[in-house]
Amino acid sequence: MTLSPELAAAMKATNTIFVNEVVPTRDVSHLDRVYTRDARILPPGAPVIAGRDAIKAFWAGGIAAMDCISATLETVHAEVSADMIAEIGNAVLTLGSGATVEVKYVVVWKQEDGAWKWAIDMWSPVA
């Protein structure tokens, strides 16, 4: 299946929550609208973190530790099936110092409670 305009808009809406409501405010309560309840993240150099509460704790510490003040997400490619989307993308994180970090990512999306959310999130810095 190809990525329909409706699915692209749903993905953008969820990504916008992360970019506009989580990162700059460091308010991880909004991650309820980004990650599925049983989501897993695979941060670079760390073990798999499972479950939304554990993911919230990770991001609360991670955003603060990095002093990340903004992020941009760009979908490069998406594969769609009946019940999931696999997204490959690029991100740029801006730190409080003004430095930027370029990241590549893969997100597996699933529908939960009528919304498309991140079920698996893996990223690594661009070398």
For 6-41, what is each residue's pLDDT tens digit?
999 999 999 999 999 999 999 999 999 999 999 999
Q: Domain holding 35: CATH number?
A: 3.10.450.50
Number of domains in the chain: 1
CB count in 10 Å sphere of residue 111: 14
Tokens 């939960």: give the residue: 112
Are the CB atoms for 11 and 75 separated by under 8 Å? Answer: yes
Provide the residue range defining the domain that includes 105: 5-125
Rounded to two decimals, the pTM is 0.94
Q: Up-side HSE of residue 124: CA atoms within 13 Å toward CB?
A: 5
Give per-residue pLDDT as tens, 58-79: 999 999 899 999 999 999 999 9
DSSP secondary structure of the chain? ----HHHHHHHHHHHHIIIIIITTTT-GGGGGGTEEEEEEEE-TTS--EESHHHHHHHHHHHHHHHTEEEEEEEEEEEEE-SSEEEEEEEEEEEETTS-EEEEEEEEEEEEETTEEEEEEEEEEE--
At residue 1 the predicted structure's pLDDT band, cuts being 50, 70 and 90, is confident
